[in-house]
Structure 1
Amino acid sequence: MPKLSHRSRAVAAVTAAVVLGAVGCDVRGDDGPGESDARERQPKPSASPGPVWDSSPASLAAVGDSITRGFDACSVLSDCPEVSWATGDSGEVNSLAVRLLGVAKAATHSWNYAASGARMADLPAQMARAAAKKPALVTVMAGANDACRVSAEAMTPVADFRSGFEESLRTLRRSAPT
């Protein structure tokens, strides 16, 4: 295996930490002395945080990869968008769309354009489909398929990842109401 530069190792470590943190893995390891005591002294969050919007958005679109498609959630090796965290309408999942739009409106005012196996290079096309609906809110969860590769060399280069994400945002901004 070729030797990685210091910068490549740092990018791989940061990417791995972000990906592992996003999927709920504990990358911190055991608490050091006094660490848990310091966390306990932190102020507790309010039980009823204020709203992010003055009113709920009128519509929602989701783009990304298998996590947003509910892959493997209902049956092995298949998508299950009805249990998607973003747009699912199953009674077993309190999706973001259901919480923000309500059950009836979520069925007609939310769209899921994510695709299992998608990488950042796929995001601009997904975003174009989502933007065509003129949603008030767009969720993006992508990057695991770019970072979780057999080697650092197989990972999507940072510049390509950034470029794909920036292109996606430009696509959305072009269609956003002014």
Structure 2
Amino acid sequence: MMSYPRTLVGAMTGFMILALSACSTPEPTPTAEPVVTETVETPKAEVADSLAVIGDSMSLAVAACDTAKACVEASWAVGTDPEVNSIAERLSAVTGKQPQTTAVARIGAGVAYAEQAVLSIRATKADIVLVLLGANDACAASTDDVTTPEEFDASYSELLSGVHNELPDAELVAYSVPDLLWLWQLGRDDPETVSLWGQSPSCRSLLADADSDEPEDVERRDAIDAVIDEYNASIQEACSLIERCTFDDYAVHDVEFTAEDVSPLDHFHASLSGQATLAEAAWPAAEVALEKWDSRR
């Protein structure tokens, strides 16, 4: 449910950068005499009117509509569907201006996506950058493929510092990793859900033998839950070291999604309702970031 691109739609791969535009200015015609021009300082924007999200399939709203594909209009972060009331739409309601939005997101992205994301983020010129990554690092094809807390810590720190270096005036919002164990609890007693999970090669680290209470399976799930706790501690710490970063205070991780919040297409990704639930949980931290941005005008 939460943002798990390695799931039943894991065969889908791709990278999205949305809503970017650029225009070129013709070079001036050379003149015989040098031209002295007065330097004019570009005025600061009155409102935060550009928003970017760095993420995975959750931010692309995979399986949130009537297809297992991405449905960005339903994204919790940059979507336009009024039923979701995304961060972008909430930002617009506060500022009175529809923001330019960009999804620097890839299906299946984990924290190793950081390097590519940093290379792409500068072009967005975003005033506010939302970051939601980590679910795919824990929800892996096998326990051996789970990103270690040490690797996650290093990569996530590089991500935030890299974004800050590229966009020094932007406010960052670092979101905690969703509670994947809660997802398992939602579906473990439903035969159809367990069957779908069993047919998928994805997220074996958590969802293998989903209805089993054997000690080794319980231990495996508990270990994944503990890893996510360590990821979240790293996210909080990394954010605290960036002056213009707001941590969500575990708001996303603490969300207790309902069965309605899970897509009926794969019993794994967020439904339209789930995207709305996430947007509601994610907004307070984004609102703090907006207030911080406004205070610097």
The answer for the alignment partner of 2:110 in structure 1 is 119
Does structure 1 conserve the Cα–Cα contact (< 8 Å) formed by 2:59 and 2:75?
yes
Pick the aligned partner of 1:132 from 123, 140, 158: 123
Other structure's SS at 2:106 match: coil
The answer for the alignment partner of 1:167 in structure 2 is 158
The answer for the alignment partner of 1:62 in structure 2 is 53
| CA displacement at 1:116 relative to structure 2 | 1.4
The answer for the alignment partner of 1:97 in structure 2 is 88
The answer for the alignment partner of 2:43 in structure 1 is none
Other structure's SS at 2:53 match: strand
The answer for the alignment partner of 1:158 in structure 2 is 149
Does structure 2 conserve the Cα–Cα contact (< 8 Å) formed by 1:97 and 1:110?
yes
CA distance in 2, matches of 1:127, 1:81: 21
- Structure 2 unaligned spans of 5+: 4-45, 170-297
Does structure 1 conserve the Cα–Cα contact (< 8 Å) formed by 2:49 and 2:97?
no
The answer for the alignment partner of 2:133 in structure 1 is 142
TM-score, normalised via structure 1 length: 0.61
CA 1:146–1:177 in 2, change beyond 3 Å: closer, same or farther? closer
The answer for the alignment partner of 1:86 in structure 2 is 77
- Structure 1 unaligned spans of 5+: 1-19, 24-54
* Larger relative contact order, structure 1 or 2 (CA cutoff 8 Å, min sep 6): 2
Does structure 1 conserve the Cα–Cα contact (< 8 Å) formed by 2:55 and 2:132?
yes
| CA displacement at 1:159 relative to structure 2 | 2.0
AA paired with 1:75? D
CA distance in 2, matches of 1:128, 1:82: 24
Map 1:21-32 → 2, pairs under 5 A: none
Pick the aligned partner of 2:101 from 104, 107, 110: 110
Does structure 2 conserve the Cα–Cα contact (< 8 Å) formed by 1:70 and 1:80?
yes
CA distance in 2, matches of 1:172, 1:71: 25
Q: Which runs of 4+ in 1 moved over 6 A?
A: none
CA distance in 2, matches of 1:56, 1:84: 22
- 1:111-139 per-residue CA deviation (whole Å, 9 max, x = no partner) reads 11111111111123123312332211111
Does structure 1 conserve the Cα–Cα contact (< 8 Å) formed by 2:60 and 2:72?
yes
After superposition, the CA RMSD in angstroms is: 2.5
Map 1:10-49 → 2, pairs under 5 A: none
The answer for the alignment partner of 1:47 in structure 2 is none
Give the greater-gyration-radius structure (CA): 2
AA paired with 2:60? R
